[in-house]
Copies of this chain bind each other. A is one copy, B any other.
Amino acid sequence: MKRKQPGRCGVWLFGAHGGLATTIIVGATLAARDLVSRSGLLTETPPFDGLALAGLGSLVFGGHDVRETSVFDSAYEVYRANGTFDLEKLQAIHDDLNAVDDDIRTGTAFNCGATIRRMSNRKANRRPRRLRELIESIQQDILEFQERHDLERVVVVNVASTEPPLPPEPRFETLKGIESLLDENDARAVRASVLYGYAAADLGFPILNFTPNSGCLVPGVQVLARKRGAPFMGNDGKTGETLVKSALAPMFKYRNLKVLTWQGYNILGDRDGQVLADPENKRAKIETKDGVLSSILGYPLHTHVGIDYVPSLNDLKTAWDFIHFQGFCDYRMSLQFIWQGCDAILAAPIVLDMVRLAEFAQRNEERGLMTWLSCFFKSPVGVDEHDLHFQFQHLLDYVQSHLAGKTWPGSGRVAKTGKTFLPE
């Protein structure tokens, strides 16, 4: 079977001036120019050899943001706060970063809570006259980007700040519901994420929702995306404590060690921590963090994730987890872990991995849920399996199926079968 080769691929980032988007742009540039190793990029490991993914150097970046700055200034700010980048290397790609500035447009912070509003510039906070107009303006920006750079495909990635959880709204469940909501211009019911998601889905562009803002991929948006031929996946990137959890929890199952308590405590600074310090926004985060454990272990347990804002840490997130478990003769023991990671550094490469795989999927005419990306998400849409090992195996199955020249059976709801994924 003859496969299409990748062309130049656009990456449109909602939240393009945030620490994560900045790290994505800087890191991709550094790696493409071999100034840093390929560490962190899964798609650069042997199982992906021969898959003909888009080259790092063929990625073109643009996006929306609610704050005004330049990519280099953002990068320099990230460097000063976290020491993430090597300054000399950052200086070496100054021109490359400047080139991106023209492709970043003012986005919307519409209905995202007071903390985000305070960070945003006036235009971003403006209440849209009509929701439909706002959506069209978002689409206009993306299409101009595509045209300007003559891009075969554009993958749309949501890496904006955490919004407060969506209020329950039955109209989100269907495409018809959303259309009527937009027609009625019911501004209170939506947040920025819904508008972003609708805009991208309507264009038929692949969507990756790396945020916990579930508005981006509400069921009605999913229907639209499928209809327009877009592959998509979310929600909430699995980068730190939850990643460790989903790798470690199966061990307790393998030994019938009963987990009594899994208590986590996260501290982080940065704009991300500041947004999460707002209890309204924090709620969305904690909701996606629960559930993982009892799903893997198969029983309810005492579990809680505390999050606190510690400015001095910036993006160097530190998490302490205390796991209390009961073994033979009902004896109690414990495992603790301390995770010290830079969130953007952990997140950026898997966004790039997913961009490449989403571009690959669309090139291969796959549409709908990319369940094989579940290993990258805290709340993988349509996937009930949280065990990292099975999730990863599912991705390998997908890759090997393509490498073997087989047609992947397609996308669908994936059951928690304990062993295999069964795409419909």
Contact = CB atoms under 8 A, between A and B. Distances in A.
Contacts of A151: none
Interface string A313-335: 10000101010101111111111
B308 A304 contact: yes
Contacts of A23: 328-329
A240 to B, nearest CB: 9
A345 B45 CA distance: 38
Interface of A is mostly: mixed
Nearest to A312: B260
B267 A322 contact: yes
A411 interface: no
A339 B329 contact: no
Interface stretch (A142-150, A183-191, A245-253): A245-253
B333 A345 contact: yes
B39 A330 contact: yes
A338 B341 contact: no
Given A37-B330, A83-B83, A388-B254, A244 B335 contact: yes
23 contacts: A31-B328, A31-B329, A39-B328, A40-B328, A40-B329, A41-B328, A84-B331, A85-B329, A87-B88, A243-B251, A244-B251, A247-B251, A255-B350, A261-B311, A265-B265, A306-B306, A310-B322, A327-B349, A331-B345, A333-B340, A335-B337, A335-B338, A393-B419
Given A328-B348, A333-B340, 20 more contacts: A23-B328, A36-B328, A36-B330, A37-B330, A41-B256, A87-B87, A247-B250, A255-B349, A255-B350, A260-B312, A261-B312, A261-B313, A263-B310, A265-B265, A310-B322, A320-B322, A327-B341, A331-B345, A335-B337, A393-B419
Top 5 nearest A-B pairs (CB, nearest first) are A40-B328, A247-B251, A260-B312, A337-B337, A389-B389
